[in-house]
A and B are shown apart, each in its own frame.
Chain A
Amino acid sequence: MAKRVVIDPITRIEGHLRVEVVLDDNNIIKDAYSSATLWRGIEVILKGRDPRDAGFMTQRICGVCTYSHYKAGIMAVEDALGIEPPLNAKLTRELMNMALFFHDHMVHFYQLHGLDWVDIISALKADPKKASEEAFKYVPKGYNPIATGEDELREVQKRVAKFAEKGDLGPFKNAYWGHKTMRFTPEQNLIALSHYLKTLEIQRIAAQAMAIFGGKNPHPQSLTVGGVTCAMDLEDPSRLGEYLQKFQILADYANRAYYADIVMAAAAFGNEPSVVQLTNLGNFLTYKEHQIGANEWLFDASGYILNHDLSKFYEIDESKIEEDVTHSWYKDTGFRHPYNGETVPNYTGYVDGKSVDGKGNEVNAKVVNPQGKYSWVKSPRYNKKPMEVGPLACMAVNYAKGNPRVKKVVDEFLAQTGLPAKALFTVLGRTAARMLQTKVIADYGIAAFNNLVENLKSDKSTVTPYKIDTNKEYKGRYIGDVPRGMLSHWCRIKDGKIENWQAVVPSTWNAGPVDGNGEKGAYEANLIGMKLADPSKPLEVIRSIHSYDPCIACAVHVMDVKGKKLGEFKVDPLYGAC
């Protein structure tokens, strides 16, 4: 008989998320539901406000990808007003952006996702000497491991052992230690545990790198419509030097720890079915990101691939982005372009049902109604097709397009691990892709810094002046690829005020419920077929969901309380709207 497992809250993510899976007698997932359980309404709040304030407010969509929506909010307005910020401003924004990627990806792997791969209790049994020797096996050529010296590992072990002896593991309590799908040896666990602790230190450096030009982190405050405000920091060589040094520390750590640990995970987990099962949803969408020169991007693909096919790359057509709310807690049905979205909340809640609990018993719980509405997240679609977005999409689509930097890094990784390219389309591959994206930034991103320094020699401008004509109507959008994938913000300005604002965010693409055509989004589709070792400890599900780096506050944003039409203009494929 079919059993259901409700997992709520999904912890170690940003925001509030529930996932439910339906299992057959062999504990194989037959169906899955993803439900976001919080809605905030920031776009409604934006209406009628000064367009110059939009960036500060959109930034508060998320405190994790804290810079992504800030930049998007500012750039959507610049696009609407037709402003081209000076190159200095663009490159300075990029330096902050790269600091964000380092921070986000490293914290995600070690602090949020890591505990799905690393068994802390097992690490206590490790031989530090053997572990120290083993660490050399996984680093890329030319690098030595970090934070894995024998004495250092012994200290880590001692510290955690003392912690464990007390009987109360605090934040580590009641996790799935000893789970059958944990595949690291005690020594490998110890290496990763040491990096878990080291990353707490490294992530502070990433935050500082952003704060040099951003004033603070999270929620930096140095962008303004037209440019950046940190003119003094840019003219101070010691500030530039500070950034350079921090970038180097981060890039170095990416290679010596992050890269190495993913190679280690590939070796250890390569035969664990739940992490190497091919994704059911084979469509991937991305947009160009990381401007490193006047006309150069690290990831230059704006397009998609279909059905896991790396041999065909398609360019994006912005007019084909739509959202559907058939199973989302809003009124209205059918697909709409974000400019024409109509969104009125319509909460119908959960229904009474049963779930396997943490002890393996079937107990009463609230469950989703699959026929009805069951999430605050909408279902974005491209040309009516569900798409996965995120670092995996960025790597796969850029690979398909033939981006030489991406090809080099991906091919080297595949060669070192002995995995085929297809292995990218798995839970393991998704986690690896996030690291590979970090590595491309680590290896090539410094070009943005060098170009900025070069440009500053002859050009001091940081802001492009502009005026908002209150008799004129404007519209514009931002599209980019932030740490969690393709992000777009769409705005319209009238009488000098924001008339309409819409954001279509990465986690919406991945976490949305089934659409009106019965097509499932990435979370739901890709869980199907996965076998659980123990339904009371659904680690496989959690590991899969974490591999997307869910950001749910980002995903639950869209609404117009009055049910007013959000746009009355037609979509233009060149400019998004006209």
Chain B
Amino acid sequence: MNEATIQKIKERLATLKKLPGIGQKSVAEVLEEHGFTRRDFLKWSAAMAVMLGLPTKFSPLIAEAAEVSDRLPVVWLHLAECTGCSESLIRNDSPTIDNILFNFINLQYHDTIMAAAGWQAEENFEEAMEKFAGRFVLCVEGGVPTKDGGEFLTIGPHAETGLEKLKRTADKAAAVISVGTCSSFGGIQAAAPNPTGVKGVYQVINKPVINVPGCPPSAKNIVGTVLYVILFGALPAVDNFNRPKFAYGLRIHDLCERRGHFDAGEFVEEFGDHGAENGFCLYKVGCKGPYTFNNCSRERFNQHTSWPVQAGHGCIGCSEPDFWDSMAPYEEPLANHKFASATVDATADKIGATILVVAGVAIVAHAALSAIKNPKE
């Protein structure tokens, strides 16, 4: 590990400590209120370090950064979607991280969770736009209908289209995170023939966007990305689909528990057969793990309970662009298919080194998130 980088981060944190917060409390205080000990907190920091692809050496720094980090204003917009990403988020743990998140970020607008409705909800939204202009993080769930001016989605008493609302909000955001495959790449409603002209967020706004795809993405990837922004005041390093490398740097296949069977040539030939009962490789029944970049095989889902391959079904490639078209049929091997992600292979290897350089250089005052720049290489 580069001692100079660590030194640099330490200096940044020392500077941060002297800065005024945004009037909220620190993560450590929030944790304390929730009955977490210092030890719990350090364990959590170490887990986050691993999650973010940082050496454990970094965990005290994460702890420190979290402590000096005030609550981050977040505005969460729902566009053309199914709410699966929000549902995924509320399943998060890392000791009861949903509680931490609830208190840790300053959630200004999220229409599945917020208590206010109608005019009062609108008021909250407009107030956040004004009060936190240039400082809030915008999370978007859902694709953007664009056909016929985007009339397939309107929000609010003035029937503003989702497209208009997104543009207006993104203009004032410090950073934009596309949560899920729909906001990242259009998702299911953008599958052929895409009747409502749905696009990914990055295709309709003029700002760097971090894509956290998955249908839905695991809670860990959503929270990991938001935390990265909170902790480092910067966007994480990304691949050429703007996905954070800490989560999407490896193929599902690379760390798959059935990989040994693939290498040994032992396959499930059809569901319910001897191979299925014995956990053989699912490639021949359509597993898209070799073509899909995500950390499912490492992190699994629902507090490590399982993941599709463990449950005997192949990966359907849900974190890849256009997977609804390019990965189908989902229960047959790809064979000679063309798929968008082939080009990712070349960029998936430099994860550790890249992320650290970006992190170290880009730790800026959290109060000045507008300093965020696009870390894409």
Using CB atoms and an 8 Å cutoff, list the residues of chain A in contact with chain B: 6-16, 18, 37-42, 44-45, 49-50, 52-53, 56-57, 60-64, 66, 107, 111-112, 115, 120, 155, 158-159, 162-163, 166-176, 197, 200-201, 203-204, 207-208, 210-222, 224, 226-233, 235, 345, 347, 349-350, 355, 357-359, 365-366, 376, 460-465, 536-538, 542, 553, 559, 561
> A27: shortest Cβ distance to chain B, in Å?
16
Q: What distance in Å separates the Cβ of B83 from its nearest Cβ neighbour in chain A?
A: 5
B115 sits at the interface (CB 8 A): yes
- Does B55 lie at the interface of the complex (its beta carbon under 8 Å from any beta carbon of A)? no
For residue B93, CB closer than 8 A to chain A, the reply is: yes
Find B157's partner among A6, A221, A224, A461 (CB 8 Å cutoff): A6
- Whether, in the assembled complex, B64 has its beta carbon less than 8 Å from a beta carbon of chain A, the answer is no
Cross-chain pair count, CB within 8 angstroms = 311
**Contact of A12 with B330 at beta-carbon distance under 8 Å, contacts A63-B82, A216-B306 already known:** no
Of A61, A166, A204, A359, the most chain B CB neighbours within 10 A belong to A204
Closest to B300 in A: A216
User: Which positions 87-144 of chain B face chain A at CB distance < 8 Å?
Assistant: 87-88, 90-91, 93, 96, 98-99, 102-103, 106-108, 110-124
When distances are taken between beta carbons in the complex, the residues of chain B under 8 Å from A203 are 90-91
Known: A232-B277, A465-B270. A207 touches B91 (CB 8 A): yes
A241 smallest CB distance to B (angstroms): 13
Chain A residues near B146 (CB-CB < 8 A):
none
Q: Which residues of A contact B162 (CB under 8 A)?
A: 38
Q: How far is the CB of A26 from chain B (nearest CB, A)?
A: 21
Identity of the chain A residue whose Cβ is nearest the Cβ of B302 in the assembled complex: A211
Instruction: Give CA–CA (A9, B216) in the complex, Å.
Output: 23
Give the CA-CA distance A8 to B218 in the complex, in Å: 30
Q: A168-B23, A232-B312, A553-B81 are known contacts. Are A8 and B157 too (CB-CB below 8 A)?
A: yes
Q: Which of B9-17, B186-194, B236-244, B369-377 contacts A (4 or more CB under 8 A)?
A: B186-194
The 9 closest A-B pairs by CB, nearest first: A63-B84, A463-B272, A215-B311, A358-B119, A175-B115, A229-B312, A216-B301, A7-B118, A221-B308
Q: Cβ of B23: which chain A residues have Cβ within 8 Å of it?
A: 166-168
Extra A-B contacts (10), CB below 8 Å, given A39-B196, A53-B329: A8-B159, A12-B114, A45-B189, A162-B33, A173-B115, A197-B99, A215-B306, A216-B218, A229-B312, A553-B83
List of B residues within 8 angstroms of A221 by Cβ = 308, 311, 313, 316
How far, in whole Å, are A306 and B191 apart by their CA atoms in the complex? 42
Contact A219 to B216, CB < 8 A, known contacts A37-B154, A168-B106, A207-B91: yes
B208 within 8 A of A: no
A37-B108 contact in complex given A12-B114, A62-B83, A218-B88, C-beta closer than 8 Å: no
The answer to whether B336 has its CB under 8 Å from any CB of chain A is: no
Q: Is the CB of A9 within 8 A of B158?
A: no
Chain A residues closer than 8 Å to B24, beta-carbon distance: 166, 168
Q: State whether A61 touches B118 (Cβ < 8 A).
A: no
Give the interface centre of A16, A40, A107, A537 by most chain B CB atoms within 10 Å: A40
Contacts of A212 on B, CB cut-off 8 Å?
305-306
Q: Does B49 count as interface, using CB distance less than 8 angstroms?
A: no
B301 touches A553 (CB 8 A): no
Hey, which chain A residues are within 8 Å of B276, CB to CB? 229, 231-232, 462-463
Interface contact A53-B330, CB-CB below 8 Å: yes
A227 neighbours in B (Cβ, 8 Å):
271-272
Closest-CB distance, A12 to chain B (whole angstroms): 6
Contact indicator B155/A16 (Cβ below 8 Å) = yes
Q: Which of A213, A218, A358, A538 contacts B87 (CB 8 A)?
A: A218
The CB with the most chain A CB atoms within 10 A, among B103, B279, B312, B330, is that of: B312
**Contact between chains at A41 and B305 (CB < 8 Å):** no
- When the two chains form their complex, are residues A16 and B119 in contact, meaning their CB atoms are under 8 A apart? no
Choose among A200, A231, A347, A461 the residue that contacts B98 (Cβ–Cβ < 8 A): A200
